Amino acid sequence: MDYRIKCLPSGVLIFTITRVDTRNAVNFRVMEGLQEAIEQASSADVRALVITGEGGQAFCSGGDLSVFHALRTEEEAYGMLSKMGEILYRLAVLPKPTIALINGTAVGGGCEIASACDFRVAKIGAKLGFIQGSLAITTGWGGGTLLFERIGTAHSLKLLSEASVYRAEQLDHIGFINQVVDEADEAAAESFLEKELSVSSGVLSAYKQIQIRKWEATGLHDRMMQEVRQCAILWAKEDHHRAVDGFLNKK
């Protein structure tokens, strides 16, 4: 199994990517697991959803290039990218608090998953970066669009355009990281949510709906899908395939 789902007595549902050997990279099974977790989180018994990675090294290293590099054409890429884009849209509009519990490196698609969550709690020293540009593509799961919804325009554009890696502490002051902790574990997630967990779940859902209504009015879903399509176009170009070949050969 490439993922684990469990619910804590507090009502916090934890989704964990368990592909430590790939630095918790996303494959199609992980996508299906995340979709399952989102469906479970819709239950009245669940008060919040937390997403994290197994071990202490990586939250998520993005899409598994050893699998997805086989996708060569625009339409092949769009099939995979749009599948994950739809999942991240559902995560973003889930009417429950959501947290990316960043226990280690989060790069590429890992940062897109984090952007889909309401909050990001990161282990001190964790490295994060929207590095897609170094592979001659853009964010492709809708994470760029979501990033612009989370933090200021100038900061978002800088993070995306530079394709650089930062420490969690560097992203704290711009609001991308909401809290830096010594250990990004279940206890840290429950501590971060302590006050929310004492409030009626109906109240939390009602507040989240305010954000969701804004996103529906501004066409968030369509904007994310436009981002997905643009990435698919770039994915099919030789520049991208050459960059991925170089990356995989270095490994």
- Mean pLDDT across the chain, nearest whole number? 97
Q: What is the pLDDT of residue 251?
A: 64
Section 220-246 average pLDDT: 97
Q: What is the pLDDT of residue 14?
A: 98
Section 19-42 average pLDDT: 98
- Determine if the pTM surpasses 0.85: yes
Residues contacting 231, CB < 8 A, separation 6+: 77, 81, 132, 137, 138, 139, 140
Say which amino acid occupies 248. Answer: L
CB 138 within 8 A of CB 90: no
Q: pLDDT (tens digit, 9 = 90+) per residue, 149-191?
A: 999 999 999 999 999 999 999 999 999 999 999 999 999 999 9
**Strand positions, DSSP E, 11-81:** 12-17, 48-53, 58-60
What is the distance between the alpha carbons of residues 129 and 112, in angstroms, rounded to a whole number? Answer: 10
CB 131 within 8 A of CB 117: no
Section 111-116 average pLDDT: 98
Q: What is the pLDDT of residue 195?
A: 95
Local confidence band at 76 (pLDDT 50, 70, 90 cut-offs): very high
Q: How many CA atoms lie within 13 A of 2 on its CB side?
A: 18
What percentage of the chain reaches a pLDDT higher than 70?
A: 100
CATH of domain 3-184: 3.90.226.10
What is the distance between the alpha carbons of residues 17 and 213, in angstroms, rounded to a whole number? Answer: 30
Structure letter (DSSP) for residue 96: S
Local confidence band at 53 (pLDDT 50, 70, 90 cut-offs): very high
Say which amino acid occupies 17. Answer: I
What percentage of the chain reaches a pLDDT higher than 90?
A: 97
Local confidence band at 249 (pLDDT 50, 70, 90 cut-offs): confident
Section 108-123 average pLDDT: 98
Q: How many residues does the chain have?
A: 251
Characterize the bridge pairing of strands 127-129 and 166-167: antiparallel
